[in-house]
Amino acid sequence: MAFNLFISYDLDKPGQSYDAVHERIKSLGRWYHAQQSLFYVHTEFTPEQAHRHVFAVMDRNDRLIVVDATGAWMYPAPPSDVEAINRVWFEMA
């Protein structure tokens, strides 16, 4: 079963490695970096599995939320963002 997940994070401690978190999120499946700390990912990982996978490279004082999405609405949103998310959402594996 495939999941459409929105993943958002806050790295609270100064000097955190965003690269490690970004790479871990990208390893989940097809992805789109929608906003500074928000990714959309199409994956075979459940929300709980994705959370454990990403949080493994984060510090305990950081925050992470993984949301299973069945639909979304963005406004205002540049058409390029909507098109990018739709490509990830609807692309066949």
> Where are the chain's structural domains?
3-90
Q: What is the pTM of this model?
A: 0.79
- The per-residue pLDDT for range 66-90, each reduced to its tens digit, is 999 876 666 677 788 778 877 877 7
Give the range among 8-22, 37-51, 60-74 with minimum mean pLDDT: 60-74
Query: How is 19-71 classified by DSSP, letter by letter?
Result: HHHHHHHHTTEEEEEEETTEEEEEESS-HHHHHHHHHTTS-TTSEEEEEE-S-
- What is the fold of 3-90? Alpha-Beta Plaits (3.30.70)
